[in-house]
Amino acid sequence: MSRARQKVVGVLGGMGPLATADFYTKLVRLTPARTDQDHLRVLIDSNPKIPDRTAALRGEGPDPTEALVATARGLERAGADLIAIPCNSAHAYLHQIRRSVGIPVLDIMEEVAAAAAALVPRPRAAGVLATSGTMQARLYHRALASRGIDVVEPAAVEQEGVTAAICAVKAGDLGAAARERVREVAAALIGRGAQVVVLGCTELPLVTDRQAISVPVLDGTEVLAAAAVRAALPSEAEEFPGSPERSSTLRSPGRAEVPGTPRAGSSKPAGRP
């Protein structure tokens, strides 16, 4: 594969660190590479000192804008050609981040909404699991609505379960209790009409058993990683010939296709036989 025109990916990370590590792993697995040198150059600023985004959105903590902007500018100065942010709640500040740099900054909501709209059959409603800050800011509501897809929200008590699962991951707990909370809330959303479940917090893929969910699951981390690979590679880059374990994300309309798209109505996760 030609490496001459590959772009350098900057990762505005650390929100939280495990989610950033998961994003990088997925980025590597989705890159069409046969050798070390085929892989993308990636600059990761894992900055867990950025103030809590959900607390800020709820009016309960300091504004993270300055720290987000400073981290983005640092990535640009270091040589990044584009930026990915593996934190959904941070996208409430996407406009300020984009305005502060001269390089593209990917939008996880737009990428996930495009992936949802590309499912066959196209879902009418998506169940969204995310932080209370992301839900309050209606980030997924707007992106999905622009493609004619409704959002099924967790009820208040269900949102408490989602929040508990997210906090467990941030504390390093990837155990059964967090997984069961995610499964229960996903099942409730499906029961209220969700035809696809969106993992709209980058902690949640780490405690989600896709095979336990009866509709397609869109892993926002995976979708963002695929978007970063597409944006960084030359347009004529060859498709990776290998295993579904490396290529497990979804197609987006008008983009290079990546094997492993789940069909709506199937319980199979992306990339599984």
> Which of 87, 130, 189, 223 is an active site residue?
87
Q: Which of 201, 213, 215, 229 is catalytic?
A: 201
**Among 45, 38, 34, residue whose Cα is nearest residue 11:** 45
Strand, helix or coil for residue 33:
coil
**How far apart (Å, rounded) are the C-alpha atoms in residues 22 and 205?**
9
The strand pair at 82-84 and 125-129 is best described as: unpaired
Q: Which two tokens stand for residue 71?
A: 């981290």
196 sits in which H/E element: strand 196-199
- Cα Rg of the chain (Å, integer): 17
Catalytic residue list contains 87: yes
CA separation for the pair 102, 10 (Å, rounded): 13
Active-site amino acid positions: 87, 201
